[in-house]
Amino acid sequence: MSLLRAFIALDIPPEVIQSISTVTASLRKETGHTVRWVAPENIHLTLKFLGEVSPANLEHLSAGLAAECEHHPPFDISVKNLGCFPNPRQPRVIWAGLIIPPQLLRLQSQIESAAARLGYAAETRPFSPHLTIGRVREQAGAAELQTLRSLLEKAASGDFGTFTARAVHLYKSDLNPGGPVYTRLNSAPLR
């Protein structure tokens, strides 16, 4: 039985993704091959990366996710601004930021705890909610990075919209030469 690469996430509605795509269109054009941009259909808010999961555990994960989500009503999340990790001098990940409601932090914390009870390693870094929209290629040169920094500074502020989180999803990720393909395995509504 082969293992699945899996994660738990919130979906982002098409209108928010379209807003991000509109603002980043010039960035995409002007950065050339410096950045591998995330396909719009793959933009999501990761709550927990599980790593390798046995198909036999999917039922337990789905049940645990449903049990946690029953304790959380839907809540709003605003998507604003662009930035990069780890910092503007050494950009590796380009992200769209979030106005973080306390409900999101509670939900993520409880999902993290539920996953730990099922034997999945706890994340060692603090939860830093964001939407990954691009990854800077390792071979990017100093001039390319300077251009990217300058473009990000110009496009940094922006309001991409607000959406209501209504369900949490369990996804599998298949890594392909053309980029990852995410398949939804299960959904748990927020009550």
Query: What are the tokens at 17?
Result: 């993704």
Residue with tokens 């990000």: 152
- Architecture per CATH, domain 4-189, reads as Alpha-Beta Complex (3.90)
Confidence of residue 162 (pLDDT cuts 50, 70, 90): very high
Residues annotated catalytic, as ranges: 44, 130
- Please state the domain extents for the chain: 4-189
Nearest to 49 by CA among 7, 15, 1, 9: 7
What is the mean predicted confidence (pLDDT) over 134-151? 91
Residue 53: its pLDDT value, please? 94
Of 154, 173, 177, which is closest to residue 49 (Cα–Cα)? Answer: 173
Residue 6 in this model has a pLDDT that exceeds 80: yes
Q: What is the pLDDT of residues 25-80, one digit of tens each?
A: 888 898 888 999 999 999 999 999 999 999 999 999 999 999 999 999 999 999 99
pLDDT in tens, 85-129: 998 888 999 999 999 999 999 999 999 999 999 999 988 889 999
